[in-house]
Structure 1
Amino acid sequence: MDYNYLQELLEKNGGSFFVNKSKEIIESAFKITSKFIDGDTLQRYREYIKKNNFEENYSFNIFELISDSYYKENFHSDIIAKLFENEIILKNFLKFIGVDKSKYKSYEVSREENKIDILIKTETNCIIIENKLNWARDMPEQLFRYYNECKNSKKLEVDKIVYLSPNSYKKPADDSVKEIPKELIKTIVGYDGENEDFYTMVLEKSLKEMNDNEPKEWLLLLEHYLKILRQTGETKMDKLTKEFYDKIVNDGKEYEKIELIATMYNDLIKTRINNLAEKFGGENWDNQCFYRDFYSEKRGINYAIDIYIYNDKSLLFLFSREEGTATDDNPKSTKKWEQDNKDIEAWLKKHKLIEEFRLPEEGDNTWWRFMKEFKFPEEEKALYEFADKLIKCLEKDIESIYSGK
């Protein structure tokens, strides 16, 4: 996506991405998307994202153009306020916070009215939303002041005070809620990596409900904001890590066991390589890989196996040691190495092993090796079985690899 082109479109529609005013930017973005993006364009965009594996990292995100605003409270409040203008989103939000939707058949959404982040109101009722996605601290008696302003000054029935939090640990301060009835206060998490957050229960749910009749700008901007919201929140792993910490603090005796497990895990790659060396008579190279050479008298050089070990996998390679000299731009050596590759391929076919390997990709002229991948730990046993089979073939039939060409 061409940012300059987008800037030009924005300026034509009365806005600018490069002025740090998120409300105006969002309004401009809506003008652009409603004018230039139809159903076919949106569908092609989604297909492009899926094809190029950008689901978690869109090549273009309309809100990333104002990335300096991510941490700012107004950035999220402006977007959320705009999203609440959509009836589907509002319906799901009201359901999530436990408010009767029939009270809000006709409503308006305001920003910073009497310093309230977001106020959803009718002539008789209202919902106060305090956005803390940026981790801002509560001001003295903050929610209590908002409550009194709406109830006493505006004469509105306050149906709910929503405290939008970045995680499950940040709650309204006691001083902030003061004498507000507890049943009116609802703390919701923006994104927590589970299924009971604003992300899942309101925005993602609304996106799934929107059909082809919905204006396309809602679909596009909602999709883009979902990504930004994920970046503000915690994950399930954050919660598990916190629970893990609490257990360590409460039971210090368990820490030695945990430390031992961590040490064993950190040494696991070395242990796996040494096990391969012990089993198959090879060597451990720098705690990175197992290797074993097989000398061919006919060829006058070694054919070799390398098994590189990683935390989540093992990569087994079969190749000719000629490759080391071939990379020195020696035409004679390169020609021998290329012939070795052909000989290895023929030899693997002879022993019915060629289907086990992933062949070098076209254009890979530097490290042309035959490779087979094994996931760890689920395929560790398969690695040993295959390595055993391959090594036995090499031990018995090494001289038949060389074709003499």
Structure 2
Amino acid sequence: MDIASFLALKEFDGIEKRIGDVQQQMELNRFNLFTISSYNAYLENFHSDVIKLLLDPQERHGHHNAFLDLFLDYLIFLGAQIDKSHYGLCQVTREKGKIDIWITDSTSKKTIIIENKINNAGDMENQLENYYNYAQSCGFQVDSIIYLTLHGNKNAPWTDNLELNAKILNLTAFKNNDDLCRGWLQKCYEISKDEHSRSFIFQYLKLIKHLSQQGMDREIKEDFYKIISTDSGYQKAKAVAALVAGLDEYRTDLLLEKINGDYAPFKKIYRYRPNHQLFERYYDNDILYKIDVQLLSGGNAQIDFWNPGQDHQTQKHNVSEKLKSIGLYEEFEHGGAGGGMYKFFDSDAIGSIEEVDSELYNYLMALFKKLR
């Protein structure tokens, strides 16, 4: 299979949109109260504290058993053998007996254990068995053990206790329609009676989604994994990656080949970086001008026109006046390499990389001609 056929595989169809959608969702969810601090939001205790606060009927949210009832409904929907009437007078505690979140009812003597692994912490030896035995030693009958992860990439470890294994329920924070966000948190948000609770839950929902969507999503990775696992796919993928990595250097080579030495009034050229070409030593009325051409990632390009060796105000004046004298001032913006003025070639607006490079070449040659 040649590279063209490799890239034409159906698994690549729309992959740029799929990745773009994930990145867009990440950006939408990135701005939330909890990500302002990069510390607490990434700790296991943080997520346990938030979930406990919402589940606890005695907590400051003021919704009494409403959020807990929704959580129990969610667990029952997923198959947990729970009688809601057994949790009418329950307590929710943190780190009692080292259990992350412990829901207990002293009247019914029923309990639910929640083990939080949202940040992918490792499992201690016999961790779930120890929790189960501790709950029983306190006189409680365990209805369910919830093993909560961010993406659902791992499940609770199996134990030697078959009765315990039957009570384990693996939950995903954000991945599908049955995850914690859609199955519980979103419903808590919808029934919230005051702006304080709604805002708090909304911000936490955004945090969970942001954490879950970091990087490409699992489905895209799975499709790519299948591609590179067959028909020398890995070698072809490496070849494509190498070609992409060297693409902007190649684009710069092609540009210079097309210019073919016709870059007067500039007297010297220099390759500053593989994708960054300089045109130097053009004097006009004793003012030195320089052009930088950058072939940028994403198929974009940029021309920078500037006056080296001058302070910002002098350079701004010199470059502006020169571009005005050749009728191109309105096509450039202030800034860019060197602090002069620049023109950006946007592949989203122009089209293919080849079309960008063609427009760049034609514009650059016209610029050289006007400067002459």
> Which residue number in structure 2 is paired with residue 116 of structure 1?
99
> Which residue number in structure 1 is paired with residue 154 of structure 2?
170
> Which residue number in structure 1 is paired with residue 3 of structure 2?
none
What SS does the aligned partner of 1:263 have? Answer: helix
What SS does the aligned partner of 2:115 have? Answer: strand
Distance 1:294 1:107 in 2: 81
Distance 2:293 2:278 in 1: 6
Distance 1:395 1:231 in 2: 48
Distance 1:365 1:251 in 2: 45
Tell me if structure 1 keeps the 8 A contact 2:173–2:181.
yes
Tell me whether 1:202 sits opposite 2:184 in the alignment. Answer: yes
Distance 2:233 2:321 in 1: 56
Identify unmatched segments of 5+ residues in structure 1.
Answer: 1-52, 400-405
Paired residue for 1:262, among 241, 252, 259? 241
> Which residue number in structure 2 is paired with residue 360 of structure 1?
334
Percent identity at matched positions? 22
What SS does the aligned partner of 2:156 have? Answer: coil
Distance 1:148 1:93 in 2: 24
Distance 1:97 1:68 in 2: 27
* Residues 1:309 and 1:198: Cα distance change in structure 2 (over 3 Å): farther
Write the deviation string for residues 156-212 of structure 1: whole angstroms up to 9, x where unpaired. Answer: 471x32111244232222226633363x421112345x66533454335533x255x
Output the TM-score relative to the length of structure 2.
Answer: 0.66
* Residues 1:105 and 1:308: Cα distance change in structure 2 (over 3 Å): farther
Where do residues 4-403 of structure 1 align in structure 2 (5 Å cutoff)? 56-57=30-31, 61=34, 64=37, 67=39, 70-71=42-43, 73-85=44-56, 86=63, 87=65, 89-99=67-77, 103=85, 107-122=90-105, 123-124=107-108, 125-134=110-119, 135-140=121-126, 142-144=127-129, 146-147=131-132, 154=139, 156=141, 158=143, 160-175=144-159, 178-180=162-164, 182=166, 184-191=167-174, 197-204=179-186, 206-207=188-189, 209=190, 213-214=193-194, 216=196, 218-223=197-202, 225-226=204-205, 229=208, 235=214, 237=216, 239=218, 243=222, 247=226, 251=230, 253-281=232-260, 284-292=271-279, 299=285, 305-312=291-298, 314-320=300-306, 323-327=307-311, 334=314, 338-348=317-327, 354=330, 356-357=331-332, 359-360=333-334, 367-375=339-347, 378-399=351-372
* Residues 1:277 and 1:69: Cα distance change in structure 2 (over 3 Å): closer
Tell me if structure 2 keeps the 8 A contact 1:77–1:118.
yes
The number of residue pairs the alignment matches comes to 322
Which amino acid in structure 2 is aligned with residue 341 of structure 1?
S
Identify unmatched segments of 5+ residues in structure 2.
Answer: 1-26, 57-62, 264-268
Q: CA deviation at 1:92?
A: 4.5
Write the deviation string for residues 376-403 of structure 1: whole angstroms up to 9, x where unpaired. Answer: 795534423432442343354334xxxx
Output the TM-score relative to the length of structure 1.
Answer: 0.61
Which amino acid in structure 1 is aligned with residue 342 of structure 2?
F
Which amino acid in structure 1 is aligned with residue 163 of structure 2?
E
Write the deviation string for residues 207-260 of structure 1: whole angstroms up to 9, x where unpaired. Answer: 3x255x3251x3454355456656765746263586479658955933222221
Q: CA deviation at 1:81?
A: 0.8
